[in-house]
Amino acid sequence: MISLHDMDVINSSSRGFEKLFLGNTGEIKQEIREKINGQVLLWREEGKADIIPGVLFIDETHMLDIETFSYLNRALEDDLSPILIMASNRGITRIRGTNYKSPHGIPIDLLDRLLIIATKPYEYEDIKHILNIRAEEEDVEIDEEALEMLTNIGVETSLRYAIQLIITSDLVCKKRKGTKVKLNDVRRVYSLFVDVKRSSQFLKEYQKQFMFFENAEIEEKGKKEKEDENSILIEDIN
């Protein structure tokens, strides 16, 4: 099996094979690429070659801007384009570089060309199974009660947060000279490291004690506007 890039390098100069093995490919002219692509497509039509498309996975797709989406849209029309897999956790959001909003921050014309895979939240048993696998990968021995608590934490907060508590719980376990993570180890790290929900609640309760607080300025502006409206109404009544 040989890739299109390998063929481009081999045909780029008389020392193409040497460049390929040394890794010093240098710049390949567009004419060479087009010639190789045309030859490969001809071989495929004659049944002399099969093309196995590559896979391009793009996570956090909503972070791409409109220029990148335009490039991808055009690239997908090529006969040798890879299989494109895009992932995003956003709903209706603005397309970067524009003032327009669309599902997942992806332009509608590109979104119409994609096969959208429906997903659903993890169930309790799914989260427990994933945490158990992650603990094995991290070489962390965990007690059943501790695993149950981590699972409950994953259900109430997020799976990522619960996964992060595995290593920290193991560190607490090692500090007390233990060999297996217990329930109290998980409780300890849960009290030390807060999740997004508890952190947001903390900020709401103590927001006025922080040095910079934008919402406070917004509230003051809203109160002033309301006072101005009331004063205007009083003047109209008088």
Mean pLDDT of 111-125: 89
Res 17 pLDDT > 70: no
> Domain locations in the chain?
1-51, 53-119, 124-198, 206-237
155 versus 21: the higher-pLDDT residue is 155
pLDDT in tens, 35-64: 777 877 787 788 877 777 888 999 999 999
Query: So what's the pLDDT on residue 14?
Result: 63
Mean pLDDT of 159-183: 94
pTM for this entry = 0.62
CATH of domain 124-198: 1.10.8.60
Mean pLDDT of 59-70: 93
Which range (39-53, 145-159, 185-199) has the least confidence?
A: 39-53
Res 156 pLDDT > 60: yes
Whole-number Å distance between alpha carbons of 213 and 209 = 9
Query: So what's the pLDDT on residue 238?
Result: 47
Mean pLDDT of 70-89: 88
Contacts of 98 (CB under 8 A, 6+ apart): 66
Whole-number Å distance between alpha carbons of 45 and 43 = 5
Res 2 pLDDT > 90: no
Query: So what's the pLDDT on residue 233?
Result: 47
